[in-house]
């Protein structure tokens, strides 16, 4: 059996974690280890996690190694990075070698073949280093999210070949870590893949854990942090206005502009900034002429 490990950061997710646990237990290819990192929950999440882990040798819980002033951004990136390192190390201490390792958001629901397909892709033929499912927002009804690049796995279910993860130095420990991880894998010669017909369901609308405005403002600041070209930023802002919530585009552009005007911190990885500033613009230009990367199609 192919071994893989998962990590999930959790802050006040008592309502969502039981459903996720049930979905992991129903997987046709179960994980060798699921390590949940509690980030200071006050709603009973920690107590529930301890009780559930006590009866499962494949489930571990840990307290977050740092207290963050902002739950998302660089703080959550470092928790996910640390969680995967802990999970891989624990499995290896048991004399086993995981071939894949993934991050999994606490508020997702999964089909039973979710990890059989993702892990199968990563350990199959070729050099696929990063993969994920499509994530459908709770506000989208029967439609899949649009504007998803087939070569850009999503952070909520982003899963790595362990060889690729270790080659790129682990999950980048800063804001926009999922996109930066895809870039670093590509620059290292790995393929990145999103499976358009494998869907994970979000229990809440995407990017809205703390409200629509803050969620899309944060997306805009991340775009500035990573060095996304202004033309791509504008195009993405327009695209966000075509999906619910339609105010997302306004807040996204406002977040980017605010970060630019105040000259906020930029990504410390020059290669990642160069990719987002130049190569991503070229990719979108190739899309216009029909020679660029494919996007997923929404289903009616």
pLDDT higher at 34 or 217: 34
Give the pairing of strands 108-109 and 128-136: unpaired
Question: CA-CA-CA-CA torsion for 215, 285, 179, 125, nearest 10 degrees?
Answer: 140
Q: What does the alpha-carbon distance between residue 76 and residue 12 come to, in Å, rounded to a whole number? A: 14
Q: What does the alpha-carbon distance between residue 248 and residue 255 come to, in Å, rounded to a whole number? A: 10
What is the number of alpha carbons within 13 Å of residue 76 lying toward its C-beta?
18
Question: For a pLDDT cut of 90, what percent of the chain falls above it?
Answer: 57
**For the residues 274-294, what does the mean pLDDT come to?**
70
Q: Are 66 and 79 in contact (CB under 8 A)?
A: yes
pLDDT tens digit sequence for 78-122: 999 999 999 999 999 999 999 999 999 999 999 999 999 999 999
pLDDT given at position 32: 97
Domain parsing of the chain, residue ranges:
4-202, 212-288
Residue whose C-alpha is closest to residue 131's, from 61, 193, 47: 193
pLDDT tens digit sequence for 236-262: 888 888 877 788 889 999 999 999 999
Q: What does the alpha-carbon distance between residue 184 and residue 140 come to, in Å, rounded to a whole number? A: 31
Buried b (16+ CB within 10 A) or exposed e, 54-91: eeeebbbbbebeeebeeebbbbbbbbbbbbbbbbbebb
pLDDT higher at 294 or 170: 170
**For the residues 183-212, what does the mean pLDDT come to?**
83
Q: What does the alpha-carbon distance between residue 269 and residue 226 come to, in Å, rounded to a whole number? A: 9
Q: Are 35 and 89 in contact (CB under 8 A)?
A: no
Residue whose C-alpha is closest to residue 219's, from 256, 183, 245: 256
Q: Using alpha carbons only, what angle is made at residue 192 by residues 266 and 75, rounded to the nearest 5 degrees?
A: 40
**For the residues 171-200, what does the mean pLDDT come to?**
94
At residue 286, does pLDDT exceed 90? no
Instruction: Name the class of domain 4-202.
Output: alpha beta
Residue 102's DSSP bridge partners are 6, 159
Q: What does the alpha-carbon distance between residue 246 and residue 258 come to, in Å, rounded to a whole number? A: 20
pLDDT higher at 274 or 295: 274
Q: Which residues neighbour 93 within 8 Å (Cβ) at sequence distance 6 or greater? A: none
Q: What does the alpha-carbon distance between residue 244 and residue 46 come to, in Å, rounded to a whole number? A: 33
């Amino acid at each position: 059996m192919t071994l893989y490990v998962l990590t999930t950061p959790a802050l006040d997710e008592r309502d969502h974690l039981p459903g996720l646990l049930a979905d992991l237990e129903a997987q046709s290819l179960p994980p060798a280890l699921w390590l949940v990192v509690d980030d200071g929950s006050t709603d009973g999440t920690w107590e529930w996690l301890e009780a559930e882990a006590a009866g499962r040798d494949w489930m571990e819980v840990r307290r977050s190694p740092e207290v963050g002033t902002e739950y998302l951004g660089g703080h959550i990136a470092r928790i996910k990075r640390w969680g995967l390192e802990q999970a891989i190390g624990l499995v290896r201490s048991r004399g086993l070698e995981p071939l894949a390792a993934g991050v999994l958001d606490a508020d997702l629901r999964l089909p039973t073949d979710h990890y059989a397909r993702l892990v199968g892709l990563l350990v199959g033929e070729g050099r696929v280093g990063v993969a994920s499912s499509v994530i459908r927002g709770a506000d989208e009804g029967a439609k899949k999210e649009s504007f998803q690049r087939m070569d850009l796995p999503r952070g909520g279910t982003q899963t790595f070949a362990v060889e690729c993860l270790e080659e790129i130095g682990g999950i980048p420990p800063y804001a926009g870590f999922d996109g930066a991880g895809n870039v670093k894998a590509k620059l290292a010669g790995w393929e990145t893949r999103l499976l358009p017909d494998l869907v994970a369901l979000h229990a809440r609308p995407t990017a809205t854990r703390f409200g629509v405005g803050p969620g899309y403002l944060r997306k805009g600041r991340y775009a500035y942090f990573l060095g996304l070209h202004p033309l791509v930023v504008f195009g993405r802002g327009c695209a966000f206005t075509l999906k619910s919530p339609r105010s997302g585009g306004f807040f996204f552009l406002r977040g980017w502009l605010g970060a630019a005007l105040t000259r906020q911190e930029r990504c410390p990885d020059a290669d990642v900034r160069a990719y987002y500033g130049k190569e991503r613009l070229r990719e979108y230009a190739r899309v216009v002429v029909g020679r660029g990367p494919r996007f997923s199609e929404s289903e009616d």
